[in-house]
Amino acid sequence: MINKLKQIFILLFVPLILSFNCGETGSAGQVKENKPDLKSMKDSIRKPLDKMQLLVNAYPDYIEKAENNKIYWKDGTTMVYDDGKDKSYEDLLDNPDIEDMLSQEYTLGANWDIPPAKNFEPGRIRNEPFFRKMYGDSKSAVMSNLTTINWFGTSVQVSTVNGVDEQFKSVIAELEKLPSEFHKYFKRTAGTFNYRKIAGTDRYSAHSFGIAIDINTDYSDYWQWDKSMTYKNKIPIEIVEVFEKYGFVWGGKWYHYDTMHFEFRPELIIK
Ligand SMILES: [Zn+2]
């Protein structure tokens, strides 16, 4: 009986296994050469590490490498990437690890899911020690890294860390070129740097690090202003796309929507 089964196995599966090794059939029905496709191999091998690597690519001034579940900072210190804990959504906001920050994928441009699914808000989860490490661990430390830039006639303070000030200047130069009907949305600003906790929470706002801006509140919608959680937005996508081009995510793509809010989060923008 066992021998019979062995025979059946050999007859059925060995040709099948061999046929896999002989090469795959391409979309045009032709047999490809049996050469390993190094690029796709590399992509598939790298997949689990891709997200960690995004951090290295996004913050090259500060992060040396990311491997073995650790972020290696250039000052010689390390941070755990994934703490392995299961978290409720509230825990994700209050005590996220670095991996949690990257758990929701930000979609660039106009083709995103609107309105956002419940609690889908890439960028709203922030591991605070990660940002404190780069932008400053106290109000005075953050302030020592700020510079003043001219936002369409208003002086605002933004961080020089990670070249954030230069990214803001690029955004300004491109927004300026948009047709004049767009200008009312962004020429007035509700502010950039503001060292404060998010209302009703113990979490510091991205504004605390000089990496965020709120544009004109007259055309903005914010979930806290209407807790029914009915998504609303007036900000044209053309404006959003300019910010995204320079590494900023938009709070208008969040379930807890904040359509005036843009923040520098290149790890969510680079692919
Ligand atoms: Zn804001």
Distance 111 CA to ligand 1 centre (A): 23
- 115 preceded by cis ω (within 30°)? yes
Q: How far apart are CA 54 and CA 105, in angstroms?
A: 12
Residue 35 in this model has a pLDDT that exceeds 60: no
Residues whose CB is less than 8 angstroms from the CB of residue 51 and which lie 6 or more positions away in sequence, other chains included: 99, 102
Q: What is the pLDDT of residues 225-264, one digit of tens each?
A: 988 899 999 999 999 999 999 999 999 999 999 999 999 9
Q: Give the pLDDT band (50/70/90) at residue 266.
A: very high
pLDDT band for 50, please (50, 70, 90 cuts): confident
Mean pLDDT of 112-119: 94
DSSP code of residue 141: H
C-alpha of residue 267 to centroid of ligand 1, in Å: 18
Q: How far is the CA of 43 from the centre of ligand 1 (A)?
A: 36
Q: What is the pLDDT of residue 204?
A: 96
CA of 210 to the centre of ligand 1 (A): 11
Going from the Cα of 211 to the center of ligand 1, the distance in angstroms, rounded, reads 10
**Could you tell me the distance, in angstroms and rounded to a whole number, from the CA of residue 91 to the centre of ligand 1?**
21
> Could you tell me the distance, in angstroms and rounded to a whole number, from the CA of residue 252 to the centre of ligand 1?
11
Read off the pLDDT of each residue in 180-196 and give the average, rounded to a whole number: 98
* pLDDT tens readout for residues 208-229: 999 999 999 999 999 999 888 9
pLDDT at residue 209, rounded to an integer = 98
pTM exceeds cut of 0.85 = no
Average pLDDT of the chain to the nearest whole number: 87
Distance 258 CA to ligand 1 centre (A): 7
Q: Is the pLDDT of residue 81 over 80?
A: yes
Rounded (10°) angle between helices 237-245 and 164-177? 150
- How far, in Å, is the centroid of ligand 1 from the Cα of 49? 31
* Ligand 1: centre distance to CA 185 (Å): 15
Which element (helix H / strand E) includes 148?
strand 146-151
Distance 15 CA to ligand 1 centre (A): 61
Distance 222 CA to ligand 1 centre (A): 10
Distance 180 CA to ligand 1 centre (A): 24
- Please state the rounded mean pLDDT for residues 102-115: 94
Q: Measured in angstroms, how far is the CA atom of residue 168 from the centroid of ligand 1?
A: 15
Q: Is the pLDDT of residue 17 over 80?
A: no
- Would you place residue 7 in the very low, low, confident or very high pLDDT band (cuts 50, 70, 90)? low
Question: What's the rounded mean pLDDT across residues 115-142?
Answer: 97
pLDDT: is 198 or 214 the higher one? Answer: 214
> Ligand 1: distance of its center to the CA of 48 in Å?
32
Q: Is 140 exposed, middle or buried (0-12, 13-18, 19+ CB in 10 A)?
A: exposed
DSSP code per residue over 159-210: E-GGGHHHHHHHHHHHHHHS-GGGHHHHSSEEES----BPTTSSSBPGGGGT
